Copies of this chain bind each other. A is one copy, B any other.
Protein backbone atom coordinates (compact mmCIF):
# COMPACT_ATOMS: atom_id res chain seq x y z
CA UNK A 1 0.00 0.00 0.00
CA UNK A 2 1.14 3.53 -0.74
CA UNK A 3 1.98 5.50 2.39
CA UNK A 4 0.27 8.83 2.84
CA UNK A 5 1.63 11.29 5.36
CA UNK A 6 -0.85 12.57 7.91
CA UNK A 7 -0.42 15.60 10.14
CA UNK A 8 -0.68 13.66 13.39
CA UNK A 9 2.47 11.69 12.46
CA UNK A 10 4.39 14.75 11.30
CA UNK A 11 7.03 14.38 14.02
CA UNK A 12 8.45 11.36 12.19
CA UNK A 13 9.40 13.59 9.26
CA UNK A 14 11.19 16.40 11.10
CA UNK A 15 13.68 18.09 8.78
CA UNK A 16 12.33 16.29 5.72
CA UNK A 17 10.49 17.67 2.71
CA UNK A 18 7.02 16.13 2.50
CA UNK A 19 3.66 16.63 0.82
CA UNK A 20 0.40 16.98 2.74
CA UNK A 21 -3.10 17.02 1.30
CA UNK A 22 -6.10 18.56 2.97
CA UNK A 23 -8.30 21.59 3.38
CA UNK A 24 -7.64 25.21 4.33
CA UNK A 25 -8.99 25.67 7.83
CA UNK A 26 -7.92 29.28 8.29
CA UNK A 27 -5.56 31.84 6.81
CA UNK A 28 -3.57 34.88 7.93
CA UNK A 29 -1.52 37.16 5.69
CA UNK A 30 1.02 39.83 6.56
CA UNK A 31 2.85 41.29 3.58
CA UNK A 32 5.53 38.81 2.70
CA UNK A 33 4.08 35.91 4.69
CA UNK A 34 0.93 33.84 4.35
CA UNK A 35 0.07 31.46 7.19
CA UNK A 36 -2.15 28.60 6.06
CA UNK A 37 -3.82 26.40 8.67
CA UNK A 38 -4.09 23.07 6.88
CA UNK A 39 -6.36 20.34 8.22
CA UNK A 40 -6.40 16.75 6.99
CA UNK A 41 -8.74 15.13 9.53
CA UNK A 42 -5.88 13.86 11.66
CA UNK A 43 -4.77 17.30 12.83
CA UNK A 44 -4.08 20.92 11.91
CA UNK A 45 -0.66 22.28 10.92
CA UNK A 46 0.48 25.79 10.19
CA UNK A 47 2.04 26.07 6.73
CA UNK A 48 4.20 29.16 6.29
CA UNK A 49 4.46 30.59 2.77
CA UNK A 50 7.30 33.09 2.47
CA UNK A 51 7.19 35.32 -0.61
CA UNK A 52 10.89 34.83 -1.24
CA UNK A 53 10.64 31.03 -0.85
CA UNK A 54 8.12 30.18 -3.57
CA UNK A 55 7.27 31.21 -7.10
CA UNK A 56 5.14 34.29 -7.66
CA UNK A 57 2.18 32.16 -8.78
CA UNK A 58 2.34 29.99 -5.68
CA UNK A 59 2.45 33.02 -3.39
CA UNK A 60 -0.49 34.58 -5.20
CA UNK A 61 -2.40 31.33 -4.93
CA UNK A 62 -1.66 31.02 -1.21
CA UNK A 63 -2.83 34.58 -0.65
CA UNK A 64 -6.05 34.02 -2.60
CA UNK A 65 -7.10 30.70 -1.04
CA UNK A 66 -10.53 30.67 0.54
CA UNK A 67 -11.68 28.68 3.56
CA UNK A 68 -12.11 24.91 2.97
CA UNK A 69 -10.36 24.94 -0.41
CA UNK A 70 -8.65 21.61 -1.02
CA UNK A 71 -4.88 21.82 -1.54
CA UNK A 72 -1.70 19.85 -1.74
CA UNK A 73 1.24 21.45 0.10
CA UNK A 74 4.90 20.51 -0.15
CA UNK A 75 7.42 21.82 2.34
CA UNK A 76 9.96 21.11 5.02
CA UNK A 77 8.87 19.96 8.49
CA UNK A 78 10.26 22.31 11.15
CA UNK A 79 10.06 22.07 14.91
CA UNK A 80 8.03 24.91 16.38
CA UNK A 81 7.63 25.00 20.12
CA UNK A 82 4.85 27.62 20.03
CA UNK A 83 2.47 25.43 18.05
CA UNK A 84 0.27 22.91 19.87
CA UNK A 85 1.43 20.34 17.32
CA UNK A 86 5.12 21.08 17.87
CA UNK A 87 5.81 21.48 14.15
CA UNK A 88 5.10 23.74 11.24
CA UNK A 89 5.64 23.37 7.50
CA UNK A 90 7.93 25.73 5.55
CA UNK A 91 6.20 25.72 2.18
CA UNK A 92 8.11 25.15 -1.07
CA UNK A 93 5.17 24.40 -3.31
CA UNK A 94 1.41 24.50 -3.28
CA UNK A 95 -1.19 23.02 -5.65
CA UNK A 96 -4.85 23.85 -5.71
CA UNK A 97 -7.23 20.90 -5.90
CA UNK A 98 -10.44 22.92 -5.70
CA UNK A 99 -11.13 26.51 -4.69
CA UNK A 100 -14.05 26.64 -2.25
CA UNK A 101 -16.10 29.78 -2.76
CA UNK A 102 -18.16 31.28 0.04
CA UNK A 103 -17.99 28.38 2.47
CA UNK A 104 -21.18 28.83 4.48
CA UNK A 105 -19.68 28.33 7.95
CA UNK A 106 -17.38 31.33 8.32
CA UNK A 107 -15.24 31.59 11.46
CA UNK A 108 -17.98 33.58 13.21
CA UNK A 109 -20.94 32.71 15.38
CA UNK A 110 -23.83 30.95 13.67
CA UNK A 111 -27.23 29.99 15.03
CA UNK A 112 -27.89 26.38 15.94
CA UNK A 113 -30.53 25.82 13.24
CA UNK A 114 -28.09 27.05 10.59
CA UNK A 115 -25.32 24.80 11.87
CA UNK A 116 -27.68 21.82 12.05
CA UNK A 117 -28.81 22.46 8.47
CA UNK A 118 -25.14 22.33 7.51
CA UNK A 119 -24.22 19.39 9.70
CA UNK A 120 -22.41 17.74 6.76
CA UNK A 121 -20.01 20.71 6.74
CA UNK A 122 -20.16 21.61 10.44
CA UNK A 123 -18.41 18.28 11.16
CA UNK A 124 -15.24 19.90 9.80
CA UNK A 125 -14.93 22.38 12.69
CA UNK A 126 -12.28 21.51 15.27
CA UNK A 127 -14.90 21.36 18.02
CA UNK A 128 -17.10 18.87 16.16
CA UNK A 129 -14.06 16.88 15.04
CA UNK A 130 -12.94 16.64 18.65
CA UNK A 131 -16.36 15.38 19.77
CA UNK A 132 -16.43 12.77 16.99
CA UNK A 133 -12.98 11.52 17.95
CA UNK A 134 -14.03 11.23 21.57
CA UNK A 135 -17.17 9.39 20.43
CA UNK A 136 -14.97 6.97 18.48
CA UNK A 137 -12.77 6.48 21.54
CA UNK A 138 -15.73 5.92 23.87
CA UNK A 139 -17.28 3.34 21.55
CA UNK A 140 -14.03 1.45 21.12
CA UNK A 141 -13.37 1.58 24.87
CA UNK A 142 -16.84 0.14 25.53
CA UNK A 143 -16.23 -2.76 23.17
CA UNK A 144 -12.71 -3.31 24.46
CA UNK A 145 -13.99 -3.40 28.04
CA UNK A 146 -16.54 -6.08 27.34
CA UNK A 147 -14.13 -8.10 25.24
CA UNK A 148 -11.48 -7.98 27.97
CA UNK A 149 -14.06 -9.14 30.50
CA UNK A 150 -15.29 -12.21 28.66
CA UNK A 151 -18.46 -10.82 27.08
CA UNK A 152 -19.63 -11.81 23.60
CA UNK A 153 -21.21 -9.20 21.34
CA UNK A 154 -24.70 -10.32 20.33
CA UNK A 155 -26.36 -7.79 18.02
CA UNK A 156 -30.06 -7.53 18.76
CA UNK A 157 -32.47 -6.96 15.87
CA UNK A 158 -33.76 -3.50 14.91
CA UNK A 159 -36.95 -4.76 13.27
CA UNK A 160 -39.10 -6.35 15.95
CA UNK A 161 -42.63 -7.68 16.10
CA UNK A 162 -43.53 -6.40 19.56
CA UNK A 163 -42.81 -3.49 21.83
CA UNK A 164 -40.67 -3.77 24.91
CA UNK A 165 -42.08 -0.77 26.76
CA UNK A 166 -45.43 0.30 25.32
CA UNK A 167 -46.26 1.18 21.70
CA UNK A 168 -46.84 4.93 22.03
CA UNK A 169 -43.28 5.89 21.16
CA UNK A 170 -42.57 3.34 18.45
CA UNK A 171 -41.69 3.87 14.84
CA UNK A 172 -43.76 1.46 12.74
CA UNK A 173 -43.10 0.12 9.26
CA UNK A 174 -44.82 -2.24 6.86
CA UNK A 175 -42.95 -5.53 6.83
CA UNK A 176 -44.19 -7.43 3.79
CA UNK A 177 -47.60 -8.68 5.00
CA UNK A 178 -47.35 -7.47 8.60
CA UNK A 179 -46.07 -4.61 10.78
CA UNK A 180 -42.67 -4.19 12.34
CA UNK A 181 -41.44 -1.74 14.95
CA UNK A 182 -38.01 -0.20 15.36
CA UNK A 183 -36.35 -1.50 18.49
CA UNK A 184 -36.26 0.60 21.65
CA UNK A 185 -33.98 -1.83 23.45
CA UNK A 186 -32.17 -5.06 22.76
CA UNK A 187 -32.64 -6.30 26.31
CA UNK A 188 -35.10 -9.14 25.78
CA UNK A 189 -32.89 -10.56 23.03
CA UNK A 190 -29.87 -9.98 25.23
CA UNK A 191 -31.46 -12.10 27.94
CA UNK A 192 -31.94 -14.97 25.49
CA UNK A 193 -28.31 -14.64 24.42
CA UNK A 194 -27.06 -14.52 28.03
CA UNK A 195 -28.65 -17.92 28.61
CA UNK A 196 -26.58 -19.19 25.66
CA UNK A 197 -23.30 -17.33 26.17
CA UNK A 198 -23.29 -16.35 29.84
CA UNK A 199 -22.04 -12.78 29.45
CA UNK A 200 -23.15 -10.79 26.45
CA UNK A 201 -23.67 -7.23 25.31
CA UNK A 202 -25.56 -5.71 22.45
CA UNK A 203 -24.67 -2.32 21.05
CA UNK A 204 -26.66 -0.72 18.28
CA UNK A 205 -29.09 2.04 17.35
CA UNK A 206 -32.39 2.28 19.18
CA UNK A 207 -35.39 4.47 18.47
CA UNK A 208 -37.96 6.51 20.37
CA UNK A 209 -40.70 8.38 18.53
CA UNK A 210 -41.06 10.76 21.45
CA UNK A 211 -42.61 14.15 20.87
CA UNK A 212 -39.97 15.72 23.03
CA UNK A 213 -37.71 18.61 22.17
CA UNK A 214 -35.44 18.63 25.22
CA UNK A 215 -31.67 18.70 24.93
CA UNK A 216 -31.55 15.19 26.38
CA UNK A 217 -33.56 13.49 23.64
CA UNK A 218 -32.77 12.07 20.24
CA UNK A 219 -35.21 9.95 18.22
CA UNK A 220 -32.30 7.71 17.13
CA UNK A 221 -29.49 6.92 19.54
CA UNK A 222 -26.99 4.15 20.20
CA UNK A 223 -27.36 2.00 23.27
CA UNK A 224 -25.02 -0.55 24.82
CA UNK A 225 -26.69 -3.24 26.94
CA UNK A 226 -24.75 -5.91 28.81
CA UNK A 227 -26.58 -8.89 30.32
CA UNK A 228 -25.02 -11.44 32.64
CA UNK A 229 -26.36 -14.81 33.75
CA UNK A 230 -26.14 -15.35 37.53
CA UNK A 231 -25.58 -11.65 38.32
CA UNK A 232 -27.47 -10.08 41.22
CA UNK A 233 -28.06 -6.39 41.96
CA UNK A 234 -24.68 -5.91 43.64
CA UNK A 235 -22.94 -7.52 40.66
CA UNK A 236 -24.91 -5.27 38.32
CA UNK A 237 -23.83 -2.14 40.20
CA UNK A 238 -20.23 -3.38 40.41
CA UNK A 239 -20.20 -3.96 36.66
CA UNK A 240 -21.66 -0.52 35.87
CA UNK A 241 -19.11 1.18 38.13
CA UNK A 242 -16.11 -0.76 36.81
CA UNK A 243 -17.25 -0.23 33.22
CA UNK A 244 -17.69 3.54 33.57
CA UNK A 245 -14.32 3.94 35.27
CA UNK A 246 -12.56 1.91 32.56
CA UNK A 247 -14.12 3.89 29.69
CA UNK A 248 -13.46 7.28 31.30
CA UNK A 249 -9.86 6.27 32.00
CA UNK A 250 -9.28 5.26 28.38
CA UNK A 251 -10.69 8.54 27.07
CA UNK A 252 -8.47 10.48 29.50
CA UNK A 253 -5.48 8.47 28.36
CA UNK A 254 -6.00 8.77 24.60
CA UNK A 255 -8.11 11.87 23.98
CA UNK A 256 -6.71 14.57 26.25
CA UNK A 257 -5.98 16.88 23.29
CA UNK A 258 -9.60 16.68 22.13
CA UNK A 259 -10.91 17.31 25.67
CA UNK A 260 -8.72 20.41 25.73
CA UNK A 261 -10.18 21.63 22.43
CA UNK A 262 -13.58 21.37 24.16
CA UNK A 263 -12.21 23.17 27.23
CA UNK A 264 -13.45 20.30 29.35
CA UNK A 265 -12.58 20.49 33.06
CA UNK A 266 -10.50 17.33 33.09
CA UNK A 267 -10.17 17.27 36.87
CA UNK A 268 -13.88 16.42 37.07
CA UNK A 269 -13.34 13.36 34.90
CA UNK A 270 -10.24 12.34 36.84
CA UNK A 271 -12.42 12.13 39.94
CA UNK A 272 -14.41 9.28 38.34
CA UNK A 273 -12.93 6.52 40.50
CA UNK A 274 -14.34 3.57 42.39
CA UNK A 275 -16.27 3.31 44.61
CA UNK A 276 -19.29 5.33 43.47
CA UNK A 277 -21.67 6.36 46.25
CA UNK A 278 -24.71 4.06 46.36
CA UNK A 279 -27.99 5.25 47.84
CA UNK A 280 -31.43 3.75 47.87
CA UNK A 281 -34.36 5.42 46.14
CA UNK A 282 -35.72 6.15 49.62
CA UNK A 283 -32.52 7.96 50.57
CA UNK A 284 -32.64 9.86 47.28
CA UNK A 285 -36.14 11.11 48.15
CA UNK A 286 -34.85 12.19 51.57
CA UNK A 287 -32.03 14.16 49.92
CA UNK A 288 -34.52 15.82 47.59
CA UNK A 289 -36.92 16.75 50.40
CA UNK A 290 -34.06 18.13 52.49
CA UNK A 291 -33.14 20.34 49.53
CA UNK A 292 -36.70 21.61 49.24
CA UNK A 293 -37.81 19.44 46.33
CA UNK A 294 -41.31 18.12 47.08
CA UNK A 295 -41.09 14.72 45.30
CA UNK A 296 -42.90 12.17 47.44
CA UNK A 297 -41.98 8.50 47.89
CA UNK A 298 -43.33 6.70 44.84
CA UNK A 299 -42.82 9.61 42.48
CA UNK A 300 -40.52 9.71 39.48
CA UNK A 301 -37.02 11.07 39.83
CA UNK A 302 -36.88 13.29 36.74
CA UNK A 303 -34.13 15.37 35.18
CA UNK A 304 -34.36 18.24 37.69
CA UNK A 305 -34.30 15.83 40.61
CA UNK A 306 -31.32 13.97 39.14
CA UNK A 307 -29.44 17.26 38.94
CA UNK A 308 -30.23 18.08 42.58
CA UNK A 309 -29.02 14.66 43.72
CA UNK A 310 -25.88 14.73 41.56
CA UNK A 311 -24.85 18.02 43.20
CA UNK A 312 -24.31 16.12 46.45
CA UNK A 313 -21.53 14.01 44.95
CA UNK A 314 -18.28 14.56 43.04
CA UNK A 315 -18.68 11.45 40.88
CA UNK A 316 -21.51 9.30 39.49
CA UNK A 317 -24.01 8.13 42.13
CA UNK A 318 -25.96 4.87 41.97
CA UNK A 319 -29.59 4.98 43.10
CA UNK A 320 -31.08 1.55 43.73
CA UNK A 321 -34.22 -0.24 44.86
CA UNK A 322 -36.92 1.86 43.23
CA UNK A 323 -40.65 1.50 43.81
CA UNK A 324 -41.71 -1.40 41.59
CA UNK A 325 -44.75 0.58 40.46
CA UNK A 326 -42.62 3.07 38.49
CA UNK A 327 -40.33 0.48 36.92
CA UNK A 328 -40.67 -1.97 34.03
CA UNK A 329 -42.57 -5.27 34.26
CA UNK A 330 -39.51 -7.46 33.75
CA UNK A 331 -37.69 -6.20 36.84
CA UNK A 332 -37.43 -8.56 39.76
CA UNK A 333 -38.98 -7.51 43.08
CA UNK A 334 -36.85 -7.22 46.18
CA UNK A 335 -37.50 -10.36 48.27
CA UNK A 336 -36.92 -8.18 51.38
CA UNK A 337 -39.65 -5.73 50.34
CA UNK A 338 -41.89 -6.57 47.35
CA UNK A 339 -42.86 -2.89 46.95
CA UNK A 340 -39.33 -2.41 45.59
CA UNK A 341 -37.79 -3.43 42.29
CA UNK A 342 -34.17 -4.60 42.18
CA UNK A 343 -33.40 -1.73 39.83
CA UNK A 344 -30.52 0.71 39.78
CA UNK A 345 -29.75 3.91 37.87
CA UNK A 346 -26.37 5.59 37.59
CA UNK A 347 -26.73 9.37 37.68
CA UNK A 348 -23.92 11.31 36.05
CA UNK A 349 -22.33 14.24 37.85
CA UNK A 350 -22.67 17.90 36.83
CA UNK A 351 -26.36 17.55 36.01
CA UNK A 352 -25.96 15.11 33.11
CA UNK A 353 -28.73 12.93 34.46
CA UNK A 354 -29.24 9.18 34.14
CA UNK A 355 -26.45 7.57 32.18
CA UNK A 356 -27.22 3.96 33.06
CA UNK A 357 -30.44 2.16 33.94
CA UNK A 358 -30.44 -1.48 34.92
CA UNK A 359 -32.01 -4.21 36.99
CA UNK A 360 -32.19 -7.80 38.00
CA UNK A 361 -34.72 -9.54 35.72
CA UNK A 362 -37.65 -11.56 37.01
CA UNK A 363 -36.67 -15.17 36.42
CA UNK A 364 -39.79 -16.94 37.70
CA UNK A 365 -42.21 -17.99 34.95
CA UNK A 366 -45.47 -17.50 36.82
CA UNK A 367 -44.47 -14.19 38.34
CA UNK A 368 -43.38 -12.87 34.96
CA UNK A 369 -46.69 -13.88 33.33
CA UNK A 370 -48.48 -12.05 36.15
CA UNK A 371 -46.39 -8.91 35.62
CA UNK A 372 -47.02 -8.93 31.87
CA UNK A 373 -50.75 -9.20 32.48
CA UNK A 374 -50.68 -6.48 35.19
CA UNK A 375 -48.97 -4.16 32.72
CA UNK A 376 -51.70 -4.84 30.17
CA UNK A 377 -49.31 -6.35 27.63
CA UNK A 378 -50.30 -9.36 25.49
CA UNK A 379 -48.72 -12.50 26.98
CA UNK A 380 -48.56 -14.26 23.59
CA UNK A 381 -46.13 -11.61 22.30
CA UNK A 382 -43.69 -12.75 24.98
CA UNK A 383 -43.92 -16.50 24.36
CA UNK A 384 -40.27 -16.87 23.39
CA UNK A 385 -39.16 -14.56 26.20
CA UNK A 386 -41.11 -16.70 28.66
CA UNK A 387 -39.36 -19.79 27.27
CA UNK A 388 -36.19 -18.48 28.96
CA UNK A 389 -37.99 -19.04 32.29
CA UNK A 390 -39.01 -22.57 31.35
CA UNK A 391 -35.73 -24.06 30.18
CA UNK A 392 -33.03 -23.58 32.78
CA UNK A 393 -34.06 -20.21 34.20
CA UNK A 394 -31.33 -18.52 36.23
CA UNK A 395 -30.99 -15.21 38.07
CA UNK A 396 -29.60 -12.57 35.74
CA UNK A 397 -29.13 -8.83 35.52
CA UNK A 398 -28.05 -6.19 33.07
CA UNK A 399 -28.23 -2.53 32.21
CA UNK A 400 -28.44 -0.10 29.33
CA UNK A 401 -26.39 2.98 28.61
CA UNK A 402 -27.33 5.54 25.98
CA UNK A 403 -24.00 6.31 24.44
CA UNK A 404 -24.83 9.89 23.45
CA UNK A 405 -25.72 10.90 27.01
CA UNK A 406 -22.47 9.39 28.18
CA UNK A 407 -20.50 11.24 25.48
CA UNK A 408 -22.27 14.52 26.32
CA UNK A 409 -21.08 14.15 29.89
CA UNK A 410 -17.52 13.20 28.92
CA UNK A 411 -17.31 16.11 26.48
CA UNK A 412 -19.15 18.53 28.74
CA UNK A 413 -21.58 19.54 25.99
CA UNK A 414 -25.10 20.45 27.02
CA UNK A 415 -27.08 19.10 24.04
CA UNK A 416 -27.03 15.55 22.71
CA UNK A 417 -27.25 16.77 19.12
CA UNK A 418 -23.50 17.39 19.00
CA UNK A 419 -22.60 13.90 20.21
CA UNK A 420 -23.82 11.94 17.16
CA UNK A 421 -22.66 12.56 13.59
CA UNK A 422 -26.10 13.09 12.05
CA UNK A 423 -28.61 13.75 14.84
CA UNK A 424 -32.25 12.85 14.44
CA UNK A 425 -34.69 14.98 16.40
CA UNK A 426 -38.44 15.37 16.31
CA UNK A 427 -38.07 18.19 13.79
CA UNK A 428 -34.86 17.10 12.09
CA UNK A 429 -34.30 14.24 9.66
CA UNK A 430 -31.76 15.93 7.40
CA UNK A 431 -28.98 15.97 6.37
- Using a CB–CB distance below 8 Å, which chain A residues touch chain B? 1-2, 4, 6, 8, 21-24, 40-42, 68-70, 97-98, 100-101, 103-104, 118, 120-121, 123-124, 128-129, 132-133, 135-136, 139-140, 143, 147, 150, 152-161, 171-176, 178, 180, 182, 189, 192-200, 204-205, 207, 209, 211, 219-220, 222, 229-230, 234-235, 238-239, 242, 384-385, 387-388, 390-394, 420-422, 424, 426-427, 429-431
Q: Is the CB of A173 within 8 A of B176?
A: no
Task: Count the copies.
Answer: 2
Are A98 and B429 CB-contacts (below 8 A) given A195-B124, A199-B41?
no
Which residues of the partner chain B approach A387 to less than 8 Å between Cβ atoms? 118, 120-121
**B-side contacts of A143, CB under 8 Å:** 140, 143
Choose among A6, A40, A176, A391 the residue with the greatest number of B CB atoms under 10 Å from its CB.
A391
Of the candidates B178, B230, B239, B429, the one whose C-beta lies within 8 Å of that of A429 is B178
Task: Decide: A156 near B6, CB < 8 A? Known: A100-B392, A129-B196, A192-B431.
Answer: no
Is the CB–CB distance between A192 and B123 below 8 Å? Answer: yes
Residues of B within 8 A of A207 (CB): 158-159
8 pairs of A and B residues whose beta carbons are closest in the complex: A41-B198, A384-B431, A70-B392, A123-B196, A120-B192, A41-B197, A100-B391, A1-B238
With the chains together, A128 CA to B68 CA distance in Å? 50
Contact between A193 and B123, CB atoms less than 8 A apart: yes
Contact pick for A158, options B8, B158, B195, B230, CB 8 Å:
B158
| Closest Cβ neighbor of A133 among chain B residues | B152
Whether A1 pairs with B150 at a CB distance below 8 angstroms is no
- Separation of A205 and B220 alpha carbons in the complex (Å): 13
Inter-chain CA distance A269–B54, complex, in Å, is: 53
Given A198-B40, A421-B193; A392-B171 close (CB under 8 Å): no
Whether B140 pairs with A422 at a CB distance below 8 angstroms is no
Sample (11) of A-B pairs whose CB atoms are under 8 Å apart:
A1-B238, A21-B229, A23-B195, A97-B392, A120-B388, A121-B192, A155-B205, A155-B222, A158-B205, A172-B173, A384-B431
Q: Is the interface of A mostly helix, strand, loop or mixed?
A: mixed
Contacts of A69 in B (CB 8 A): 392
Contacts of A385 in B (CB 8 A): 120, 431
Q: Report B-chain residues with C-beta under 8 Å of the C-beta of A155.
A: 135, 205, 222, 420-421
Q: Are A392 and B68 in contact (CB under 8 A)?
A: yes
Q: Which of B204, B394, B420 is the one whose CB lies under 8 Å from A97?
A: B394
- Contact A136 B153, CB 8 Å, known A171-B175, A173-B171, A429-B160: yes
Q: Judge whether A384 and B430 touch: CB under 8 Å.
A: yes
The answer to whether B171 touches A154 (Cβ under 8 A) is no
Q: Are A429 and B124 in contact (CB under 8 A)?
A: no
With contacts A197-B129, A205-B204 taken as known, whether A2 is within 8 angstroms of B392 at the C-beta atoms is no
Partner of A100, one of B174, B209, B239, B390: B390
Contacts A120-B388, A384-B431 given; does A132 touch B152 at CB 8 Å: yes
Question: What's the Cα separation between A329 and B135 when bound, in Å?
Answer: 32
Residue of B whose beta carbon sits closest to that of A198: B41
Known contacts A171-B174, A429-B161, A430-B161: A394-B182 contact under CB 8 Å: no
Q: Are A427 and B176 in contact (CB under 8 A)?
A: yes
Q: Which of B133, B196, B199, B384 contacts A124 (CB 8 A)?
A: B196
**Complex: how many Å from CA A98 to CA B2?**
60
Q: A133-B152, A196-B123, A198-B42 are in contact. Are A230 and B6 (CB under 8 A)?
A: no
Asked whether B100 lies within 8 Å of A238 as measured between CB atoms, the reply is no
Contacts of A391 in B (CB 8 A): 68, 100, 103-104, 121
- Once the chains bind, are A384 and B120 in contact (CB under 8 Å)? yes
Chain B residues near A222 (CB, 8 Å)?
155
Residue of B nearest to A423 (CB): B157
Q: Which of B98, B123, B173, B429 has a CB less than 8 Å from the CB of A393? A: B98
A427: B residues at CB distance < 8 A = 176
- Please name all residues of chain B whose beta carbon is closer than 8 Å to the beta carbon of A135 when the two chains form the complex: 153, 155
Q: Report the separation of the CA atoms of residues A194 and B189 in the bound assembly, to the nearest whole angstrom.
A: 34
A219 to B420, CA, bound (A): 25
